[in-house]
Amino acid sequence: MLRVGALGTTISLSQFLGAQAAQGQSDSGRSAILVFLGGGPAHQDTFDLKPNAPVEYRGQFSPARTSVPGVEICEHLPRLARRADRYAIVRGITHSLADHGLGTRYLMTGNLPTPVVNYPMYGSIVSKEMPAPDDLPAFVSIDRPVEGPGYLGAEYGPLSTGEKPRFGQPFRVRGITLDDTISIGKYQRRTRLKDDIDSAFRGYESLDDSVRGLDRFSEQAYRIISSTRSRNAFDLTRESDREMDRFGRHEFGQSALLATRLIEAGVRFVTVLLEGWDTHQDNFNTLGRSLLPNFDQSFSAMLDRLDESGRLASTAVLVTGEFGRTPKVNANAGRDHWARAMCALMAGSSVRAGQVVGATDDKAQGPAHVGYSPDDLAATFLTNIGIDPKMEYNANVGRPITVVRDGQVIPRVLDVS
Amino acid sequence: MPGSRQACLTLALITGQLLAWNALPAVAADALPPVSQRFAGEPPDEVPDFQRHVSPLLGRLGCNGRSCHGSFQGQGGLRLSLFGYDFEMDHEGLTALSSAGGERRLLSTRPAESLVLRKPLLQVDHEGGQRFAAGSWEHQLLLSWIAAGAPGAGNPQVLAELRVEPAEVLFSQGASPVQLRVTAIWQTGNREDVTPLCRFRSNDDSIAKVSADGVVHSTGVGDSHVVVFYDNGVKAVPVLRPFEHRASSEAMRFRSRAEEPPEGIDQFIEEKLAKLHLFPSELCSDEEFLRRASLDLAGTLPTPAEIRRFVSDGTGDKRRQKIDELLDRPAYAAWWANKLCDFTGCNPAQQAELGQETSVQWYMWMYQRLRDNVSYDELARRIVLASSREPGQSYNDYAQAMSSYLREVSPADFAQRETMPHYWTRRGMQKPEEASQAFAHSFLGIRLQCAQCHKHPFAPWTRQDFQNFSRFFQGMKFGVPGESRQRYRELAAEAGLSVRGDEGAPISNEVLKQARRGRTIPWRELYFDPPAETRSLDLLRSGPVSLGRSQDPREPIMAWMRAPDNPWFARAFVNRVWAAYFHRGLVEPPDDLNPANPASHPELLDWLATSFIEQGMDMKWLHRTITSSHAYQRSWVPNETNREDRRNYSRMIPRRMPAEVIYDGVKQSLAATESDEEVRTDLSRRAIGHLSMRLAGTYAMQVFGKPDRAVNCDCERVNQPSLLQAIFLQNDPLMDDRLNESGWLRSLEQQRAAGTLPSGESLIREAWLRTLSREPAPEEVIRAEKHLAEAESPVEGVRDLLWALLNTKEFVLIK
């Protein structure tokens, strides 16, 4: 068994991942970050502006040029405008579930929700197919989980940190950070005592699955909790002031920084939440004063840092909400739920950055030509992680289930060799 | 009696050689010989029948599989119905023009040139490769059919029985393969040897493999089934090979004579054990029994005092008495209310109205029925035939009553209601097709979903069966019926609820607050909107049911389920209850009763279901009967014969405690001695009790696999261990809090201050009893004492010890 932590620096992470890829059948060696913009961001006020639409449609924001000729995004995203060559914008995504719960399930699984099958979130598929190093969880959700493991079972659910990191405050990761009253030495002593007295099945450890599984997971939990690498990965105080400033000292900045650190350490899938996009009222102040500047700063920093460390090439990034918002601004300067049009960003791994794929009509009401479904978006994202979206699982529902049954990879988004 | 049952079985103890195909004697004198003989040489003067020959042959050749022409997109332009049985569609597909080049797939004038033959012969490119050789009987059969003009199926013929010989295959070591022979018996009385037209499948390749021709090879010891498929018939043939070990059969006979003859459940279990040369493990110890039975029956750890009392009790039938006592506890009703909520799908996120409130009402209603031990069929009736309004209740009284359950000051009790309509007002019940699937899962333990789109691959269900059954659920509506609309509107106006359209609107938080303050708010209701005319519907192949105009279509379903000869209703329930006491159901998965997934002990399942019906579906009788059996009370420790057995209950297989039970168990282990009873009996603070639905969806419940109950599958409740569970038990803040706030440790702290702290050894014994429900072994005491001596303080040492005990495998397992 490989133990990177125990061997210190004798083998590099990429060697480790390479070795694992040789073992695992479908491990591409890639990782992924999913930034979920909960609430449903207004597509026409972020990455799909309609400056020529009547004022009640186009809203209060103006488009700004970007580093890619012909591509324009919202004026409140200046840093991302300068980095438009780092990501691709997918416009004209369309579906019909304008409900937060159902829309989220759809976007986070790539399958239309049904009472018959509980589909797994992308991170759970990654966690099943692409194991992490021994002393790290494969799938981490910063704050709460966005969606669950579905038919893959609890084993492939995310380790959720239970809260967002806040600048200047100690950050406790549920299950990883030791309680203040418990030193690592005490935890290790307790574990030794446990190993000492857990004797009921001695001599029969391999007999039953449940016993075997408990041994395996208890050992892995110990490795994760006691590992310096894992504790360091979650420890934002190890970051310099410069990095803190670059990502931003707000919650989303800290979450984005943590996500980046976790990927650097070897976690395979991280979800980051930025909520507050459900702007039924006061849409423009909410977006212009906090959501967009924060997102602009932290997401830019994330892309920069992944690029600097060379990890952008192996990290698939997806930014999406659960739907878009109504074309017409309502009486409260807000926009309501609208699933017929939305947009997403993709970056990293095989994404052909610096382009816009797809389009909406002149009032951003729906796709201009052929729209893309959440299923298509899912197929594209999974492919970019190195997972075949047409792969099948023998889920416990009596028939094989295709990971993303109806989706096709969106043309032109990925460089497919 | 075992003897008479055995006589029914055609037991084939095979030691002879495999007989050549053609040398097999005819199955019955009047049965038509197999097509492989009839079409072997010169084509006979026979026109092959589409249903009986052509369609099964295509199935046998794999043409209608899901990766070939059975795919919903078809393959190469030709689409066949998945797993067959849509004769019209398949016939049309075969006789249509080919998509490529407009060539006819069938040419009756030049049959040999038909694409349908040239493709599988690989005379032209065929992605599926060559399926048969030129001149083979398969070739001749299809050729004859095409030459005769490729006639279609007409009205489907009804297969009365699929008879397989031998009816059971019992291999001995080194035994030769066995050829199965299959006879189709049609309702017309016609019989035919259809062996070469069947599909065969082994349910466990590590025990037996079966060739495409139906030859069974033994691959290992143990037992499983080979399943035979033909037309819509499915037949499972048990295949057994005894375990091999040094213990002689002589010793087994001696042993069985020495013991009292088994009765009830055990006679069936032991009969099969003997057949497989398995010795059961010894019975478990009293300590193990008490922990196991308390957790399984009442979801509760025994108290240290209770353990000491039980172990020292010299009464002969103390286990039976304990079972009765556990069944009388409210905790039994609480725990089993969770299980019944699993089966029926109680889920706050799925309710059409006020999810949190209605799911708590649902749970509490279940709890009360279980506490009163209402019979299972009666409980089911009160759900199946539930209506929002009680008989004779006006809409206004209904709205008043529903509101009264929610008011803050002296609320009325929903659980007193005769019926429980929330089952029908889930989001997943709104369309008849969804309702029929959910209903079949909840009450019949069968999975109809496959048949929504294609013939069920393992069960006899066709799309027609599914559509017929779904029609029973048409007309069940959730909204506002015409006669209630005026009053509903008035209430809505008073409450300030904006309503568009006639079907009403969900109750908003604002409106809910008014109900809390005691006002009557507008409620939508479950009602039946009768169809225009009398209907005659087929009820899952049990014959047609005529429905009068105003008759609630659920009534005939309930009557049918209650009939003693109903094949599913009682069986599904006894099998699920069985599955809760063991690591598997007699049928596994427990909610997938179908002929291709037979019970490991079919006679036992029959006996249990029949006896349950005879006992008036008394649920406590069922629990008592299962937990009183030797099969349930065995030790998990294997003997030299049964290490590999996981199907025959020769020992107890350890299972992980369910989510709610672990959650409560941690609390119980750490409670102050004087609240030992209260922490168990105060259901309002227990995860198996009133908190059940309030805790649903929380992190702890998700990590330990409490089901969402969002889909129709018992598999949603997960009892597998996982990494996150280990992390949770070792280091979750909730665990830290529990350990830091332990009432027992706090009292030890006080005793230490007062100088009355008991000895290390007695604390160690107490810690073991609290968590593992047993006395520690001497070497365990020594190890623990060593740790206490090194700890910063004695109480801290006990805290560490409790942490360690709660993290042992033994704590989370029911063994």
- Amino acid present at A165: P
Of A275-284, A388-397, B513-522, which gets the smallest average pLDDT?
A388-397
Classify domain B2-15+158-241 by CATH number.
2.60.40.1080
The single-letter code of the amino acid at A33 is I
The reply to whether B89 touches chain A by the CB within 8 Å rule is no
| B17 Cβ contact partners less than 8 Å away, ≥ 6 residues apart | B176
Q: Six-digit token pair at B90? A: 């398949």
Give the residue ranges of DSSP H helices in B394-462.
395-404, 432-439, 450-453
Q: With a CB-CB cutoff of 8 Å, which residues 716-755 of chain B face chain A? A: 716, 718, 720-728, 730-733, 736, 740
Q: What is the DSSP annotation of B127-160?
A: TT---S-TTSHHHHHHHHHHHTT-----SPPPEE
Rounded to whole angstroms, the Cα distance separating A38 from A319 reads: 10
Q: Among all chains, which residue has been given the structure tokens 């009921």?
A: A200
In the predicted model, what is the mean pLDDT of residues B790-808? Answer: 96
Supply A355's token pair: 């382009």
Q: For B547-566, what is each residue's pLDDT tens digit?
A: 887 788 899 999 999 999 99
Q: Which two tokens stand for residue B230?
A: 């033909």
- CA dihedral B438→B441→B446→B450, nearest 10 degrees, is 40
Indicate the SS3 state at residue A213: helix
The confidence score (pLDDT) of residue B325 equals: 98
- The secondary structure element, H or E, covering residue B781 is helix B778-790
* pLDDT value at A18 more than 60: no
pLDDT tens digit string along A220-237? Answer: 899 999 999 998 999 999
Contact: A198, B803; criterion CB under 8 Å: no
The whole-angstrom separation of Cα B390 and Cα B414 is 12
**Mutating which of A121, A210, A267, A408 best tests the B interface, going by the most B Cβ atoms within 10 A?**
A210
pLDDT at A213: 85
Is residue B279 within 8 A of residue B255, CB to CB? The reply is yes
Residue A298 token pair? 């932290």
**A108 close to A375: Cβ distance less than 8 angstroms:** no
pLDDT digits over A200-223, tens only?
999 998 888 889 889 989 998 999
Q: Which residue has the higher pLDDT, A16 or A156?
A: A156
Residue in chain B closest to A221 (alpha carbons) equals B727
Q: Answer whether residue B22 shows pLDDT above 50.
A: no
Q: Per residue in B79-116, pLDDT tens?
A: 888 888 888 889 988 888 776 566 778 888 888 888 88
Closest listed residue to residue B528, CA positions, set B489, B496, B481: B481
In Å, how far is A200's CA from the nearest CA of chain B?
A: 7
Q: Which residue has the higher pLDDT, B546 or A10?
A: B546
Backbone Cα Rg of chain A: 22
What pLDDT does B21 receive? Answer: 37
Q: How far is CA B266 from CA B219, B294, B305, B618, in A?
A: 28, 21, 32, 20
**Residue B694 in this model has a pLDDT that exceeds 80:** yes
φ/ψ of A65, rounded to 5, equals -70, 160
Contacts across the A-B interface (CB distance below 8 Å): 183
- B190 pLDDT above the threshold of 50: yes
pLDDT of residue A315: 98
Encode pLDDT of B340-371 as tens digits.
999 999 999 888 899 999 999 999 999 999 99
What is the model's pLDDT at position B9?
A: 29
Nearest to A396 among B643, B715, B809 (CB): B715
Q: What is the pLDDT of residue B252?
A: 58
Coil, strand, or helix at residue A408? coil
Task: Give the DSSP letter of residue B673.
Answer: G
In the block, residue with structure tokens 């019944």: B340
Which residues from A are below 8 Å from B704, CB to CB?
154
Torsion over CA of A162, A270, A275 and B709, rounded to 10 degrees? -70
Closest chain B residue to the Cα of A191, Cα to Cα? B804
Q: What is the pLDDT of residue B247?
A: 66
List of chain B residues whose C-beta atoms are within 8 Å of the C-beta of residue A119: none
Radius of gyration of chain B, Cα coordinates, nearest whole angstrom: 31
Q: What is the mean pLDDT of chain B?
A: 90
Q: Is the dihedral of CA B314, B319, B324, B326 positive or negative?
A: positive
Report H helices in A88-180: 100-109, 122-129
State residue B253's pLDDT score.
54
Supply the pLDDT for residue B29: 56
Residue of A nearest to B657 (CA): A210
Query: For an interface test with A, which of B723, B732, B805 has the most A Cβ atoms less than 10 Å from its Cβ?
Result: B723
Closest C-alpha to B197, from B171, B169, B159: B159
Domain with CATH 2.60.40.1080 in chain B: 2-15+158-241
Q: pTM surpassing 0.90?
A: no
Arithmetic mean of pLDDT, A78-100: 96
**Structure tokens given for A83:** 């980095």
Contact B192, B31 (CB under 8 A): yes
Share of chain B above pLDDT 70, in %: 94
Stretch 308-347 of chain B: residues touching chain A, C-beta under 8 Å: none
Per the DSSP assignment, residues forming a β-bridge with A273 are: A36
Chain-chain contact of A115 with B428 (C-beta, under 8 angstroms): yes
Q: Is the dihedral of CA B139, B141, B144, B148 positive or negative?
A: negative
Mutate: best of A171, A193, A205, partner B, most B CBs <10 A: A193
Is pLDDT above 90 for B458? no
Tell the burial category of B642 from Cβ atoms under 10 Å away from its Cβ (0-12, 13-18, 19+). buried
Query: Per the CB < 8 Å rule, is B808 touching A155?
Result: no
pLDDT in tens, A350-369: 999 999 999 999 999 999 98
What distance in Å separates residue A209's CA from the closest CA in chain B? 9
Percent of chain A with pLDDT strictly greater than 90:
74
E strand map for B208-347: 208-210, 215-218, 222-230, 233-241
Q: What is the DSSP letter of B585?
A: -
Chain B: residue whose CA lies nearest to A194 = B804
Q: B3-17, B646-660, B672-686, B758-772: which has the minimum mean pLDDT? A: B3-17
Position B568 pLDDT exceeds 90: yes
CB B543: neighbour CB atoms within 10 A? 8
| pLDDT, position B259 | 62
pLDDT at B541: 82
Q: Mean pLDDT throughout B199-205?
A: 91
What is the least distance, in Å, from the CA of A12 to any CA of chain B?
25
Residue A25 clears pLDDT 60, i.e. is over it: no
Provide the 8-state DSSP code for B30. Answer: T
Contact B726 A217 (CB under 8 A): yes
Nearest to B61 by CA among B170, B190, B198, B164: B198
Query: What's the pLDDT at A3?
Result: 31
3-state SS record for B337-357: HHHHHHHHCCCHHHECCCHHH
Contacts with B699 from chain A: Cβ below 8 Å? 160, 162, 174
Quick one: what percent of chain A has pLDDT higher than 70? 92
- Highest CATH level, class, for A4-171+235-402: alpha beta
Query: Coil, strand, or helix at residue B492?
Result: helix
Token pair of A10, please? 């004798």
Across-strand partners of A372? A93
Per-residue pLDDT for B739 more than 60?
yes
Q: How far is residue B384's CA from residue B439's CA, in Å, rounded to a whole number?
A: 9
CA A246 to chain centre: 20
The string of pLDDT tens digits covering residues B371-385 is: 999 999 999 999 999
Which amino acid belongs to residue A34? L
Question: Could you read off the pLDDT of A152-192 as tens digits, one per residue?
Answer: 877 788 888 888 898 888 888 888 888 888 899 999 999 99
- The shortest C-alpha distance from B147 to chain A (Å) reads 38
- Distance, in Å, from the CA atom of B562 to the CA atom of B385, rounded to the nearest integer, reads 13
Closest CB from A118, A154, A397 relative to B703? A154
Mean pLDDT to the nearest integer, A256-276: 96
ipTM of the complex: 0.86
